[in-house]
Amino acid sequence: MKKLLVKLCIAIAFVIGVTDTGFTLFNKNKKQFNINKYSVSTEFSTEVIPEGYAEIKTDSTLSNKFMVSTKFHSVDETILKVEKPNAGAIHKTVYKDFHSDVFVYFEDKLIFKQRIEKDSFPTEDNTALAASYMQAFQLNEVASTENQIVFSVSFHNPSEEKYLDYEFIVDKIGDYYIKKV
DSSP state letter for 3: H
- Sheet (strand 148-157) strand order: 133-139, 148-157, 162-171, 176-180
- Compare 59 and 52 and report the one with higher pLDDT: 59
Residue 144 neighbours by CB distance under 10 Å: 20
pLDDT exceeds cutoff 60 at 38: no
CA distance 149 to 17: 82
Q: pLDDT-derived band of residue 48, with 50, 70 and 90 as boundaries?
A: confident
The CA-atom distances, in angstroms, between 78 and each of 50, 112, 135, 143 are 11, 27, 12, 31
- Compare 3 and 112 and report the one with higher pLDDT: 112
CA distance 129 to 117: 12
Domain at 37-180, CATH from 3.90.1150.10, 3.40.50.2300, 2.40.128.510, 2.60.40.10: 2.40.128.510
Q: Could you tell me what percent of the chain has a pLDDT over 70?
A: 85
pLDDT exceeds cutoff 60 at 20: no
- Compare 4 and 171 and report the one with higher pLDDT: 171
Chain length of the chain? 181
Predicted pLDDT at 12: 79
pLDDT exceeds cutoff 80 at 73: yes
Name 80's bridge partners. 94
Q: Which residues of 38-61 are buried (b: 16+ CB within 10 A; e: fewer)?
A: eeeeeeeeeeeeeeeeeeeeeeee
Which residue, among 132, 71, 122, 120, has the nearest Cα to 96 in the 3D structure? 132
- Tell me the domain boundaries of the chain: 1-31, 37-180
Computed over its alpha carbons, how large is the radius of gyration of the chain?
31
Predicted pLDDT at 155: 92
Task: Using alpha carbons only, give the angle 73, 117, 160 rounded to the nearest 5 degrees.
Answer: 95
Residue 94 neighbours by CB distance under 10 Å: 14
Span 30-40, mean pLDDT? 53
Span 130-156, mean pLDDT? 92
The CA-atom distances, in angstroms, between 148 and each of 24, 36, 62, 71, 112 are 81, 61, 11, 20, 12
